[in-house]
Structure 1
Amino acid sequence: MLLYVQSKSFPHKTFVVKCKTTDTIARVRAHMLYSLYDMGRVQHQFRFRYKGQYLRDPYTMEECKIVDHAVITMVPMAKRQESLVDLQQRLMESTDDLDPAHELDLGKGQTDEVMRALEKEMKIFTGREKMLAGLEGLLTAQMMLILLAVFTHYWYSIFWCGLFWLYGYLRCPKYSRVGGFTGIAGLKRKQFCVVYGIMSLINFGISLGLGIYTAHNLMSLQCPSYPTELGTGCTHAEVYTAGYFFLHALVMLSSSILTWVILHNFKYEVGDLIEKALVLTRDVEKVLEAARNGKVKERRTAAYEMATMAASGDDNKFRIVAEGGLELLIAMGLSTDAATQEYSTEAMAELLTVPAIQDKFVEMGGIRTLTAVLHAKDQRVVKEAATALSYIVSDSEENKPAIVADHGLEDLCHAARHGGKDVQSIVSGVFLELAFNPDIRAQMASLNSPSQALVHLCRSSDTDTQRFALQTLELLAIESSSTIAAQEELLEYLLSLPVHSMDTRLYLLAGKILLYFTETQESCEHLLDSDRLKDTLLQFSRTSDLVLQKVTAKIILALIDTPHLLMRAKHLGFQDIFLHIRNHALDRDAWNMADQGLALMQSEHAHKAAKGIMGSQGSLKDKGRGSFSSARSQSTASLDRGARPS
């Protein structure tokens, strides 16, 4: 497959990388290091981004869902402006006891291991280019020897030597370090080396045998120092034949040896050594040492390498923690260098996928770092911090209180209001997980900011974000209906939901929350003042959801609890909704509620009848008890552990 790599650092150049679906991101980075080496920019620090997601070195093209002819972006690890800001800060913070040269040096780009691997690969592939050029030179020498074979006693050797030379000439692969293999011959290069090497040995044996045989004949004839064609058995042709075949044997032996060396060289592919240097070979102790005492770029690279190592497997995660890397990452998460902060937060998110590490992380006070990072300007950093928090709340009930401590709820609310789409999706899931804890739910319900943040999340364009936010609001409404009923923006959103969405699951959640807006007569009057109420409830009743039909009927029954409200509802035509539910009821309870609601609206003694219906259905005024208990139990059941976000 072919990949096209673009970068703002090189606006007039598009890099083309040839790879396989099983290749890792690290191998593609190795290809790019080759290109940067030729351009003199090998110290340029970068990573890849595809469809808005940053790619990590251990993952393959297939795992990242990268298709053929995809366009990926090469992003610098830190913008030049950030490096200059960091330089200025270090100048201002420098003291007399610090070495100024050390403070001003931002450090090198690539690590020593990567540079050594790159230089070694360069030697391997430069040597390959030279060896194949040498093999072509030997093929030229063979062609000349074939022409000279006609002057030997064994002139017919030109036939097998000619066939051997023709095979080598047609099948010899063409290679350059910059362009790689060219032509069809490069596809079967290993097969060529094996066949050509064996044929060279055979030709070497034949030529050596003919040379020895001819030399033996010359020695047995005891030729004088200057043989002539007359008077002796030795001729110039015999001397020429012996010398020719010894020379031909030497060329064949050289060709065979060179071919086997080239075959050994062919086992190396671009990125074999660099990939190990990028992913596997770095010692944790060296990485942590660079993170503690290195310069800006070295700390940045160390943070990136820890994120890469953590993504490679659980063994590396435990090695990092055992060597003190977790505490170091918590400190680096508050770095003034945006890139270092991003990669250290990414590394923490990778480590926190293991529940055992989560407990130690919470004990070290790492939650405070993650919640502080939620205020970062870079959305990538905020996303990684939110992701790390989501791992903690989903795996451990004991660690949830640590998240809401020290103004953690306010930090989450800030991320919900100012974060991007991805951040909001993660934060909405975190809120939902926290709301399942009774103590935390009570704390959230006692504050106004979580409800406001959740209302803001409801307006997201992502359906899952809306659903998680509405589920959390429903749980908070069960805890404190007055807090939810005070959210004017929430009511506006719930009533306008059918205009923006066709999702029945959202309709059901919206209907359940609307029940809590019917707690008082004032709120019921406010609902009836809305022009959208009837259309919204009519849309709810037209769905094929059984529970939503019942919830819609209960909302209207609560609205007509007094004669005054009953007359207003009748004037607005709410009996049409009851009529539709009765005609399309999915079970007997829905039919009964719709029928009794119609009877209420048609009764001459509305107030007395309303009280009778309320008594038969259970008091609608006390939503936490009576008739609404079933609706709320269904609400809670729909939000059990199985319905939580992954």
Structure 2
Amino acid sequence: MLLYVQNKSFPLRTFVLSVKNQDKVARVRAQLLHILYELGKDHHQFRLRYRGEILRDADYLGDYQIGDNCVITMVPMMKKLEFDGGSVSSSQTNYDSSSGQPPDIKDALNREVKHFDQREKFLNDFKALLYIHSLLVFLALMSVYWYSAAWTGCLFVAAIIFVPNYSRLGGFVGNNTHLRKYYCVGFGIGGMVCLGVAIYFSVITWTRIVNHGCKDWMFVDDCSHQQVFSALLYTVHSLLFIVSVVVIWILLVNFRVEVGDFIEKYLVRERDIEKVVSAAKNGSSKVKRQAAYELATMAASSDDNKLMIAAEGGLLVLESLALCRDSATQEHAIEALAELLIIPSIQDTFVKMGGCRSLSAALHSSHSRAVQEAANAIYIIVSESEENKNNVIADRGIEDLAHVAYEGNTASQRTVASIFLELAFNNEIRSQLTSSNIPAQALTSLCENKDMETKRYSLQALELMAIESSDMICAQENLLNILLEVPFKTMDEKLYLLAGKILMYYAENPETCEQLLDNSNVKESLGLFARTDDPVLQKVVAKIIFCTLETKELKMRALNLKLDRVLDYIKEHAADRETWDMADQALNDMNSSDDLSNLPTLSTLEKLKKMESKDKFGSSSSVGSEVKGQDSFTSSNSDLKK
């Protein structure tokens, strides 16, 4: 399959690679190193990214769902080279600070280049031998054994037609190059057979000449000119066959090596963790960048490596690098920490040493990738451990998360929304979230995000916080408009249900209910909510309209907005009996001259029960069904976690 590789460092070039789905990412990087070698840019350090995710050398392309004609990005690892005065000399490490690639990778690249240069040379020499053989085939027609031209001619005609074409710059080309190994085996066997025949003819002819003796240089009988010519011809032909067969077997061995075979093992191999941690701690800025990258790769490859990195003091080193000024080093260090935090014991150790403060500080980084990796690391902490959640929001952690909610990119905002959702599931922390206006404001801002996942996580978190303090949620100025605009921006019924549930809190509060009715989109929005097959969502709409009927003033405004038409639609398209009963009761109440203002302290369900005794809102069975439906809906509110 074909891959297209883009790099901002080469804006006018898109590299095209031929790879297999079972190839490792290291194989792709190896091919790119060869291309950069031809451009004179083999010192250029880079990583590969696909759909916002950094590709690890040891992983396979299939692991990232990379298919034919996909476009991946080369991300330079040397964005801003910033040296700190306290760095020690790079001579203390195994890295060559004068060039981009580590020495072992450079050596492997040079060996591959040399190997492919030899392939091109041997293949050109072999083609020259084929043309010389072709000339000898024609000369064989004038020999004693003229009929030998038949099989040698067939061999060399087929050899010339199917010979592979290769250059180091262009690689293999032609329709038959995929048969190159079969070609080598076939020609090798055919050449050895022809070699045996040529040697036999040569020996027989020379024997006859020697036995004749050619006295007085008289070229007659067994010492005729044709005999001498045949002996010389098949001797030369035998020597050429020997050379050709040797070359073709050398090519067969050479063809077994593909681009990346030498380089790949160095890209995916694991260096001594102790040395890498030491380099990350004591090296120069460039050495630290490379070491941070290697630690991220090692941590991702196995749990044993994670434990070894932590045992060698890697947590402190990575925490320090997570706050450095070099963007690439910071990104790799935080990425390594995120991998390490998957292990519960390492996570607990990291939290106890105050590492959450460093991750929160990294959320203010000017580099978006570092912010995203820090958000990922924090999400791992809050999702894996209930005990460690409090450490995340301590020391202005909520303010740091809110900063990303306003300033982060789409990926980091989605992660922050999921972090708030995980925090909101904890009763104690939910109380802390509602004690300040900052979380609600941040989540309201996230609800405006065009990314549907971010919007969903944010609405779920707001609904959970509304359980703790509905007044806090209803106090958000822009949230009402956002909720009513949901059906105009998406067709996701899950988002409809979340928005509808939060709108109920607005409807149950008389002051915010007025704001709800003042909104110009309320009828259209509720109408779109009702046009679903979800009975729970239809009940939500019916209950919202119930809440607007508690006073005569609100009821008149609801009638003026023609919300009764929404109820008519629900009745006509009710998903179940309970939904029909609720819509029917609401219509009866809307058309009734009575109101429920004398019951200001009761909930909606309690008011319905009171009205049931007056026999003005349908049969008792209808009210009972409605109450049962409301109870089932209330119980469903707690089941929000994905």
Normalised by the length of structure 1, the TM-score is 0.86
Question: What are the within-5 Å matches in structure 2 for residues 429-578 of structure 1?
Answer: 429-518=418-507, 520-570=509-559, 573-578=562-567
Q: Is the 8 A contact 1:292 1:299 kept in 2?
A: yes
Question: What are the within-5 Å matches in structure 2 for residues 188-587 of structure 1?
Answer: 188-221=179-212, 227-229=217-219, 234=223, 238-280=227-269, 282-314=271-303, 316-355=305-344, 357-518=346-507, 520-570=509-559, 573-582=562-571, 584-587=573-576
In structure 2, C-alpha distance between the alignment counterparts of 1:449 and 1:632, rounded to whole Å: 32
Look up the SS of the partner of 2:36 in the other structure. Answer: helix
Q: Which moved more, 1:478-487 or 1:209-218?
A: 209-218
Structure 1 equivalent of residue 167 of structure 2: 176
Q: Which moved more, 1:426-435 or 1:546-555?
A: 546-555
Structure 1 equivalent of residue 147 of structure 2: 156
Q: Which moved more, 1:611-620 or 1:529-538?
A: 611-620
Structure 1 residues 130 and 585 mapped into 2: Cα distance closer, same or farther (>3 Å)?
closer
In structure 2, give the amino acid aligned to 1:142: H
- Aligned-residue offset at 1:300: 2.0
Q: Is the 8 A contact 2:90 2:283 kept in 1?
A: no
Structure 1 residues 283 and 551 mapped into 2: Cα distance closer, same or farther (>3 Å)?
same
- Aligned-residue offset at 1:29: 1.8
Picking from 126, 133, 145, the partner of 2:136 is: 145
In structure 2, C-alpha distance between the alignment counterparts of 1:542 and 1:484, rounded to whole Å: 26
Q: Is the 8 A contact 1:106 1:296 kept in 2?
A: no
In structure 1, give the amino acid aligned to 2:436: L
In structure 1, C-alpha distance between the alignment counterparts of 2:40 and 2:597, rounded to whole Å: 90
Structure 1 residues 315 and 223 mapped into 2: Cα distance closer, same or farther (>3 Å)?
farther
- Aligned-residue offset at 1:477: 1.1
In structure 1, C-alpha distance between the alignment counterparts of 2:313 and 2:535, rounded to whole Å: 56
Q: Is the 8 A contact 1:109 1:297 kept in 2?
A: no
- Aligned-residue offset at 1:44: 0.9
Q: Is the 8 A contact 1:471 1:639 kept in 2?
A: no
Instruction: State the identity as a percent.
Output: 45
Q: Is the 8 A contact 1:2 1:18 kept in 2?
A: yes
Structure 1 residues 358 and 628 mapped into 2: Cα distance closer, same or farther (>3 Å)?
farther
In structure 1, C-alpha distance between the alignment counterparts of 2:629 and 2:438, rounded to whole Å: 29
In structure 2, give the amino acid aligned to 1:386: A
Structure 1 residues 507 and 178 mapped into 2: Cα distance closer, same or farther (>3 Å)?
closer
In structure 2, C-alpha distance between the alignment counterparts of 1:423 and 1:628, rounded to whole Å: 42
Structure 1 residues 639 and 22 mapped into 2: Cα distance closer, same or farther (>3 Å)?
farther
Structure 2 equivalent of residue 5 of structure 1: 5
Q: Is the 8 A contact 1:512 1:631 kept in 2?
A: no
In structure 1, give the amino acid aligned to 2:351: V
Structure 2 equivalent of residue 120 of structure 1: 111
In structure 2, C-alpha distance between the alignment counterparts of 1:470 and 1:221, rounded to whole Å: 107
Residues 506-547 of structure 1: CA distance to partner in whole angstroms, max 9, x if unpaired? Answer: 232223223323555434444444444444444434443322
Picking from 76, 82, 100, the partner of 1:109 is: 100
In structure 1, C-alpha distance between the alignment counterparts of 2:460 and 2:628, rounded to whole Å: 17
Structure 1 unaligned segments of length 5 or more: list them: 621-626
Q: Is the 8 A contact 1:107 1:295 kept in 2?
A: no
Q: CA RMSD in A?
A: 3.5
Structure 2 unaligned segments of length 5 or more: list them: 612-625
Q: What is the aligned length?
A: 624
In structure 1, C-alpha distance between the alignment counterparts of 2:140 and 2:59, rounded to whole Å: 58
- Aligned-residue offset at 1:69: 3.8
In structure 2, give the amino acid aligned to 1:74: M
In structure 2, C-alpha distance between the alignment counterparts of 1:3 and 1:603, rounded to whole Å: 69
Structure 2 equivalent of residue 624 of structure 1: none
Structure 1 residues 190 and 203 mapped into 2: Cα distance closer, same or farther (>3 Å)?
same
Q: Is the 8 A contact 2:188 2:249 kept in 1?
A: yes
Q: Is the 8 A contact 1:135 1:258 kept in 2?
A: yes
Look up the SS of the partner of 1:488 in the other structure. Answer: coil
Picking from 114, 125, 133, the partner of 2:124 is: 133
Structure 1 equivalent of residue 641 of structure 2: 644
In structure 2, C-alpha distance between the alignment counterparts of 1:188 and 1:327, rounded to whole Å: 54
In structure 1, give the amino acid aligned to 2:188: G
Look up the SS of the partner of 1:606 in the other structure. Answer: coil
Normalised by the length of structure 2, the TM-score is 0.86
Q: Is the 8 A contact 1:562 1:607 kept in 2?
A: yes
In structure 2, C-alpha distance between the alignment counterparts of 1:454 and 1:181, rounded to whole Å: 56
Structure 1 residues 141 and 282 mapped into 2: Cα distance closer, same or farther (>3 Å)?
farther
- Aligned-residue offset at 1:360: 4.1
- Aligned-residue offset at 1:118: 0.5
In structure 1, C-alpha distance between the alignment counterparts of 2:632 and 2:398, rounded to whole Å: 27
Residues 133-171 of structure 1: CA distance to partner in whole angstroms, max 9, x if unpaired? Answer: 221232233234334445644343333333333232222
Structure 1 residues 127 and 489 mapped into 2: Cα distance closer, same or farther (>3 Å)?
same
Are 1:186 and 2:177 an aligned pair?
yes
Q: Is the 8 A contact 2:456 2:495 kept in 1?
A: yes
Q: Is the 8 A contact 1:478 1:632 kept in 2?
A: no
Residues 449-486 of structure 1: CA distance to partner in whole angstroms, max 9, x if unpaired? Answer: 00111111111112222221111111111112222122
In structure 2, C-alpha distance between the alignment counterparts of 1:161 and 1:535, rounded to whole Å: 87
In structure 1, C-alpha distance between the alignment counterparts of 2:339 and 2:531, rounded to whole Å: 46
- Aligned-residue offset at 1:444: 0.7
Residues 254-308 of structure 1: CA distance to partner in whole angstroms, max 9, x if unpaired? Answer: 2112211110111111111212222235444454344333333332223223333
In structure 1, give the amino acid aligned to 2:458: A
Q: Which moved more, 1:610-619 or 1:201-210?
A: 610-619
Look up the SS of the partner of 1:75 in the other structure. Answer: strand
